Amino acid sequence: MRIFNYANLKNHRWDSEILGLVAQIHEFKGKQELYLKQKPAALERLVEIAKIQSTEASNKIEGIVTTSTRLQQLVMEKTTPRNRDEEEIMGYRDVLNTIHESYEYIPIRSSYILQLHRDLYQYSQKDIGGRFKNTQNVIAENHPDGSQTVRFTPLAPYETPGAIDSICDSFNQAIDACIVDPLVLIPIFINDFLCIHPFNDGNGRMSRLLTTLLLYQCGYVVGRYISLESKIEKTKENYYNVLEQCGNGWHENENDPAPFIKYMLGIVLAAYRDFETRISLVNDKLPAIEMVRKAVCEKIGKFTKSEIMELVPSLSKASVENSLTQLMKDGVIDRHGKGKATFYTRVDV
């Protein structure tokens, strides 16, 4: 039977890779306050971009999609949902907004997790929001021929409410007692949450929302400006692989959470590095052409106009387009393709 007691982590020896990742993230967190005082208008634009990317990526992992235009309209609350996927996208948007605006006031308790799950499905016709699962679920791989391979069997429905209470209580006690660094404890909590798999649907999205919430509460707010979900979506094969590794022996209390800890710390560290790069661009009092030139120098291989716009959020679309046109005339970049397939490459001499 699985036992949840994070106090047992007090004497655990973590390997040098985990300790190194934690140290690097601490260093970036130390710079965080300085960054947040600079260019508040540009930072707000980063928030808008991150919300759109997070909503898109976290749903995309679960096969829930819509067009880019519709997604932006839904996230910016400029339209209403047309189908089931868009209903669930709007639910994710609302929960993410709640976390952004009120993370300091959301206790880590099962009742609040249920409320967040309720809001995730508030626009959906599915009558499952805010309720723990009532049937046994499995984590399975679907094959092209329609067959399935069961990768992990979570806790049974009758065990679920008590298990969520246990991980919440144990997490809060460990945080209050400073038993282990939050950067290590948060992935362990999320891994246990996913192994419990407490809902009939929405477990993956809830786990990513809870990751953001817990990081914010512990002072790591980089996900506000750089989408963590987007980085997970781009590495989802590795994401699923490490979760499978960490499920081995979980029911018998013999699993090793280290692979998932390393994966999540790598995601957070990559986000901080991106944040520092973008801050260095928006902080410079440079003409638009020079800001775009610096952004181009950050790219390797193919890049798009949208990717450059993400790096210089203080500039308008027209300013970026005009700057790219001028850089082509100057022989700095080449343009390839047409329409939506357009991309650019640097011309390095």
Instruction: State the CATH number of the domain containing residue 24.
Output: 1.10.3290.10
pLDDT at 283: 60
List phi, psi (to 5°) of 116.
Answer: -65, -40
Closest CA to 234 of 61, 67, 93: 61
pLDDT at 35: 78
**188 and 253 fall within a common domain:** yes
**Boundaries of domain holding 46:** 6-281
Say if residues 164 and 113 touch (Cβ distance below 8 Å): yes
Which residue is associated with the tokens 């909590």?
Answer: 189
What are the DSSP E strand ranges found in the chain? 139-142, 148-152, 333-336, 343-346
- Cβ-in-10-Å burial (0-12, 13-18, 19+) of 196 comes to buried
**139 and 223 fall within a common domain:** yes
Between CA 317 and CA 297 the distance in angstroms is 19
Tally of domains in the chain: 2
| Residue 42 included in any domain | yes
Which residue is associated with the tokens 């016709």?
Answer: 125
**290 and 184 fall within a common domain:** no
Domain boundary pick from 249, 281, 313:
281
pLDDT at 252: 96
| pTM value surpassing 0.75 | yes
Beta bridge partners of 179: none
**152 and 167 fall within a common domain:** yes
**184 and 296 fall within a common domain:** no
**91 and 186 fall within a common domain:** yes
**216 and 335 fall within a common domain:** no
**254 and 220 fall within a common domain:** yes
**71 and 195 fall within a common domain:** yes
Domain boundary pick from 281, 297, 331:
281
Indicate the pairing of strand 343-346 with strand 333-336.
antiparallel
| Residue 1 included in any domain | no
**71 and 159 fall within a common domain:** yes
**323 and 271 fall within a common domain:** no
**303 and 339 fall within a common domain:** yes
Q: What is the pLDDT along the chain (349 residues), one digit of tens a residue?
A: 899 999 999 999 999 999 999 999 999 998 888 777 766 766 887 898 899 999 999 999 999 999 988 998 999 999 999 999 999 999 999 999 999 999 999 999 999 999 999 999 999 999 999 999 999 999 987 777 888 888 899 999 999 999 999 999 999 999 999 999 999 999 999 999 999 999 999 999 999 999 999 999 999 999 999 999 999 999 999 999 999 999 999 999 999 999 999 999 999 999 999 998 888 777 657 899 999 999 999 899 999 998 998 888 778 889 999 999 999 999 999 999 998 899 999 998 5
